[in-house]
Amino acid sequence: GESVGLHLPTLSVQEGDNSIINCAYSNSASDYFIWYKQESGKGPQFIIDIRSNMDKRQGQRVTVLLNKTVKHLSLQIAATQPGDSAVYFCAESIGTDKLIFGTGTRLQVFP
């Protein structure tokens, strides 16, 4: 796929299990964070976002947790499905639309 680096960290989970994808962000001044999913041959797809005045935000089957103390972001996917297989990127920004992306994590779901 277009998104993949050659040596992306990979998370392998069984269908139906919960997945947790972690991301360490770089700038303590970042005030907006966003998770994207990218499937092979496609552009990144918005999953969920969170602002720095929040610690947790939930969407449909997904939860994002923000720990500003250690500059850590996580994405939890409940009841992981084969269609969740993709590369996941976290991104941060500081007051602008300039997103700084992480390197990505490949999620593999096996039956």
Residues in contact with other proteins by the rule CB under 8 A = 2-6, 31-32, 34, 36, 41-46, 49, 89, 91, 93, 95-104
Tell me the one-letter amino acid at 108.
Q
- The nearest distance, CB 108 to other proteins, in angstroms, is 18
Whichever of 40 and 67 has its CB closer to other proteins, that residue is 40
Whichever of 42 and 56 has its CB closer to other proteins, that residue is 42
Tokens of 5: 């680096």
Whichever of 37 and 80 has its CB closer to other proteins, that residue is 37
- The nearest distance, CB 98 to other proteins, in angstroms, is 5
Contact predicate 14/108, CB 8 Å: no
Distances (CA, A) of 50 to 2, 5, 26, 53, 98: 26, 26, 16, 8, 15
Which residue's entry shows tokens 């990218």?
38
Tell me, what DSSP letter sits at residue 43? -
Whichever of 4 and 24 has its CB closer to other proteins, that residue is 4
- The nearest distance, CB 81 to other proteins, in angstroms, is 22
- The nearest distance, CB 44 to other proteins, in angstroms, is 5
Q: Which residues pair with 10 in a beta bridge?
A: 106
Tokens of 28: 């303590």
